[in-house]
Chain A
């Protein structure tokens, strides 16, 4: 079997859909490469070739937004040999209930290399934002990735408020954190349920899936919407949480985390479940750091890095956050990180509800604008670090750049499945928690 650089095979077979849908080449670790914290110059984790200037980053963002669609997330090399062929998985499959394709190089059983092909769901969202008011843009941003809507809305609003130097009511910042932590618990429960499904743990699947549904009902009762669309607003809160609603929320969350503890113990007591996840989809710490992995993927390799701790903003400055970390780098480690984050988010929510600010409290000044009319917003989405860059002109959006956790984690995801077998795919996919909707914005 021989290997050669992937770039040499760009004119290869177009896949099952014919030439018109031939993916264009876009090496994701270059095009989406971004440096953490480039705005303030405090680079904690550099990824890819580091752009010297913020302008250069903006160019990369723009190029990513204008990239031909669909585009391929290229593995480092292409493998040739007797019987080796490319198996296109997707864009429509029930295994991954989103539209995206994976070009699997294989000879029948092992995945030699895996090339995710994103861009099938490009809704041209970011390109359509310029000219809109921030309020109208928010309607589109929160529908960019529905299961991460609170994270996207919070990062976008933080960027807008920083660009326009708008002061934010303290209750609004509290509401944002509350919405994001609720969303985090839902997504972790959903991901654990999907891993249980892949491992044929049917009772575990049903019970965890039921908890995820309970989470959605809690969100629906609290904000009127199961996916938190419209829950967040620029400046001051539109929807106020009354004391009765907060008491109900606290009770419901305590009940839910109690149930989850029971399930977690049962999962970890199940030999078949733990054995199946161990050593599946391994990401080494060295590779995770070098390729710029974020979120639970990075924390599962032993790196305790979380945006809520990196540069904590209100209200995280005032709260105790227990940051879970595992060392295995495999699907089990990622699931354990997620499971423990359900616990730590529940603890955060308890603190948020206990110390809910009165409306009369002082207003919180936002981060100062990075440049003239330009602001950055950054939050820890359920799958990891999410950055928005917003430029404003006359109170309207001039441009929006976004780098999501899914952008950052594609390369390590593809890498973690090299030399795995087909059945490992879903364990890696579900434990990574990647969302095509984020990259296809």
Chain B
């Protein structure tokens, strides 16, 4: 046993400084970042047509609007001058907030639904039909590099003990009822986080018949984390955002 401890001590501190410091290049590789159009897109229609998930649309003037809730980071738009340079704080409390540049919208969702929980929040993971990448990214929050427990975020084994439901994957017909039941099992106050583009808008499966279009059709969603899959730091930021402890909020 002492050798295990010795090995752990020799490895030293691995844990990220996030959210006290911004996410590093290794924590947020290129394709975990959001697409940003260049100042001038030479071939606007070509760029819009290149996107396989219809995440790009024409905006006012000669601009392009990118929908981060649809973008699967295939980087085909890179040929049209797009780059991937967003920050880890990419989650938004409302669906319209994922549009860049934003469109003017009505009153937004509750921005801080779980503020009263303060420094301790229990989360439960539900797979509505994912490819398993988002599952692994969420579970990575428990590894020493992210160590979500240090921020008071704990994974529970039952939705009845949870405050936050993390939903990954595109909701399939078979999972709609189990997802609803899991949501109902959470005690109030509760919040739902859509992790990845699949629960937000179906991602690459958005046009497949037999799948629910989005998680919003099943349960109310309090935070949308775009990405395919989102980086663990982005999921961390979304959970902290529910408590009013997001890095974006404390800075701004």
Contact = CB atoms under 8 A, between A and B. Distances in A.
B41 interface: no
Interface string B158-195: 11000000000110111101100010000000000000
Interface residues of A, number: 58
Contacts, number: 182
A107 B39 CA distance: 67
B174 A122 contact: yes
A220 B26 contact: yes
Given A207-B8, A209-B143, A120 B174 contact: yes
A262 B178 CA distance: 42
A70 B174 contact: yes
Interface stretch (A224-232, A326-334, A335-343, A355-363): A224-232
Interface in A116-153: 119-125, 128, 136, 139-140, 143-147, 149
B5 interface: yes
Interface string A158-178: 000000000000000000000
Contact of A98 (B135, B174, B204): B135
A190 B174 CA distance: 28
Nearest to A204: B4
Contacts of A435: 132
Interface string B122-136: 001111111111111
Contacts of A266: 3-4, 7
B132 to A, nearest CB: 5
A99 B7 contact: no
Interface string A60-87: 0000000001100000000000000000
B4 A143 contact: no
A116 B170 CA distance: 22
A319 interface: no
A1 B132 CA distance: 39
A17 B132 CA distance: 23
Contacts of A91: 174-175, 178
A210 to B, nearest CB: 5
A121 B175 contact: yes
B156 A94 contact: yes
A190 B32 CA distance: 21
B143 A212 contact: yes
B204 A120 contact: no
Given A97-B127, A266-B4, A437-B132, A226 B157 contact: no
A230 B127 contact: no
A289 interface: no
B82 interface: no
Identify which of B27, B125, B133 gathers the most chain A CB atoms within 10 Å of its CB: B133
Nearest to B84: A224
A239 B127 CA distance: 32
A124 to B, nearest CB: 5
Contact of B4 (A17, A70, A125, A203): A203
Contacts of B64: none
A21 interface: yes
A274 interface: no
8 contacts: A99-B169, A125-B205, A146-B132, A147-B132, A213-B145, A221-B26, A226-B29, A226-B137
The 6 closest A-B pairs by CB, nearest first: A146-B133, A220-B29, A146-B131, A209-B143, A224-B30, A225-B31
